[in-house]
Amino acid sequence: MTLGPVMLDVSGTALTAEERHRLRHPLVGGVILFTRNYQSPAQIAALVGEIHELREPQLLVAVDHEGGRVQRFRDGFTVLPPARRLGDLYDENPRRARRVAHMAGWLMAAELRAVGVDFSFAPVLDLDFGVSEIIGNRAFHSNPDAVADLAGSYVAGMAEAGMAATGKHFPGHGACAADSHLTLPVDNRTYADIYVQDLVPFERLIEQGLAGIMPAHVLYPNVDAQPAGFSRFWLQEVLRGRLKFQGIIFSDDLSMEGAKGAGGIVERAELALAAGCDMVLVCNDPTAAGDVLQRLKPHEDAASRLRRVRMRGRPAPERAELASAVAYREAARAIAKLA
């Protein structure tokens, strides 16, 4: 059995019999975890282990663990600052900010790898234009070169800890006031405007070997008629063609309001995969997840299968060994000052 193109969630702190059955479906390739799945480091390690033991090759296990507002596991984990704290530091001392960004990426990834989580959907590569309800201080900075600089250091830290990175939300969510969880944001800028601003961090990180990218549920009507996550123009012509991205493309959650204009849940999944996504996320809606697994046509793509496998976390120290490391204590102290 190979890793399929669908990533699902689970309901609680341990798998139910129904979830074990569902996760063995050949279309499933991964699981995304949320705060409701977390009680303690030992519990989450057991849950991840249970998921990994279900099949071979092991399902990918992911989480949104950026820091600030978006950190799913807290008690027992280092409290991570929002990315913008690193941007503030960058304005004072760019060299020190890059060093601390490397520490932050390493610390986040090391703690997750120590409990078996394969990867976090991080970092955010959006620019902070000061208008977005959902991005805000999740962005490193308003300056694209500063974002690229800090994100590059952060991703290098993640890699050192054994974790591949996923940049989001391509081609840029920061210029929209609306929250794509609640509605479809519309960005009326031209491609040229987006290229000289929002695409800079993505282009720079792709040149450095970025493993994954997640497109935004945002419509750019002066560029294409489809939101980015369903757009062959954005995913094929721009991301794969012009930017030469060779890594994995994850859809954002197809249950979000910003995705619902594309049709029913199965139509959304089909459209996202046809546009160029390698893996689609269906979260917080078990009925929709069941519909996708029942009705989605098989997608046999050897390149996509290989991209999915490459997101597997690399070997890393367990928690006890990690906690005793000098580098861990130094990183935790440095990040605590920011958080």
Judge whether residue 258 has pLDDT over 80: no
Average pLDDT over residues 282-294: 96
What's the rounded Cα separation, in Å, for the pair 112 and 77?
Answer: 9
Query: For residues 322 and 293, is the Cβ–Cβ distance under 8 A?
Result: no
Active-site residue numbers? 181, 252
Query: For residues 188 and 222, is the Cβ–Cβ distance under 8 A?
Result: yes
Query: Which residue type is seen at 70?
Result: V
Confidence of residue 339 (pLDDT cuts 50, 70, 90): confident
Residue 183 corresponds to which tokens in the numbers above? 């509605």
Query: For residues 34 and 282, is the Cβ–Cβ distance under 8 A?
Result: no
pLDDT per residue over 160-197, tens digit each? 999 999 999 999 999 998 777 888 899 999 999 999 99
- Among 290, 249, 305, 242, which residue's Cα sits nearest to residue 272? 249
The pLDDT of residue 178 is 78
Strand, helix or coil for residue 82: coil
The alpha-helical segments, DSSP class H, found in the chain are 17-23, 41-52, 83-92, 94-113, 144-160, 191-196, 199-207, 232, 265-275, 286-295, 302-309, 319-323, 326-338
Residue 81 corresponds to which tokens in the numbers above? 């600052």
What's the rounded Cα separation, in Å, for the pair 250 and 164?
Answer: 13
What's the rounded Cα separation, in Å, for the pair 263 and 321?
Answer: 48
Confidence of residue 5 (pLDDT cuts 50, 70, 90): very high
Helix (H) or strand (E) holding 282: strand 279-282
Query: For residues 67 and 105, is the Cβ–Cβ distance under 8 A?
Result: no
pLDDT per residue over 211-235, tens digit each? 999 999 999 999 999 999 999 999 9
Residue 31 gets which letter from DSSP? E
Query: For residues 43 and 66, is the Cβ–Cβ distance under 8 A?
Result: no
Query: Domain limits of the chain?
Result: 6-338
Greatest Cα pair distance, the chain, in angstroms, is 54
Give 71 or 261, the one with higher predicted confidence: 71
pLDDT per residue over 88-108, tens digit each? 999 999 999 999 999 999 999
What's the rounded Cα separation, in Å, for the pair 3 and 14?
Answer: 22
Bond into 227 cis (ω within 30): no
Architecture in CATH of 6-338: Alpha-Beta Barrel (3.20)
